[in-house]
Amino acid sequence: MKTTHLLYLHGFRSSPQSLKARLMAARVRELHPGVVWCCPQLPPSPAAAMALIRALTADWPRESMAVVGSSLGGFYATRLALETGCRLVLLNPSVHPARSLARHLGEQIGWQNPAESFHFRREHIDELRALEDERVPAPERTLAVVAQGDEVLDWREMVARYPGAQLHLREGGDHALSDFETAHLDAVLDFLRLA
């Protein structure tokens, strides 16, 4: 089954203007203009973010939709894949964001636009905990791109979270996957089988 609807979810403090999101959007527009592409700005509240994600994909065909999630977006993408059975691509996914983001409470500045800021609150950690789901997404429908050089998250936790998934494990690298265009983009698009 070809993918006809594609959702991209950015990470914490990121946006649809991230390099990976822009590269994906450009490639999809160029080579697969018939694919429905959606890359929303996610709100700071995890509960609100999941509500938005569910609303945006509510009428999408489950058998031909897919989601790509980077970092915290990977956590949300995993939850969506568990709920819908859709194809899933993870880019250095956050596995335990309630733990890893606990040290980021307070005022946060956006990566792509330093003029944009938001307040990350203690209740957001509780919302992340409420979204945790230890079930494993369908391994045959999951691709994980993981950099061992990730300076933010533990690559071993990422690999362990998705047993049996197709894995692109990169020696070195970084959390942003700075080599995404040259080392990973084609593999991600091949896995997605876009219409």
Tokens of 131: 């979204």
pLDDT band with cut points at 50, 70 and 90 for residue 124: very high
Largest CA distance in the chain: 44
0.85 cut: is pTM over it?
yes
Provide the CATH topology of domain 5-192.
Answer: Rossmann fold (3.40.50)
Whether 111 has a pLDDT exceeding 80, the answer reads no
- Strands 106-109, 117-120: pairing is antiparallel
Q: What is the mean pLDDT of residues 103-125?
A: 86
DSSP 181: I
pLDDT band with cut points at 50, 70 and 90 for residue 179: very high
Residue 116 is predicted with a pLDDT of 82
> How much of the chain exceeds pLDDT 90, in percent?
90
Task: Delimit the domains of the chain by residue range.
Answer: 5-192
> How much of the chain exceeds pLDDT 70, in percent?
100
pLDDT in tens, 18-57: 999 999 999 999 999 999 999 999 999 999 999 999 999 9
Q: Contact, 7 vs 56, CB < 8 A?
A: yes
User: Measured between alpha carbons, how far is residue 38 from residues 10, 30, 52, 145 in Å?
Assistant: 11, 15, 12, 21
Q: Contact, 37 vs 28, CB < 8 A?
A: yes
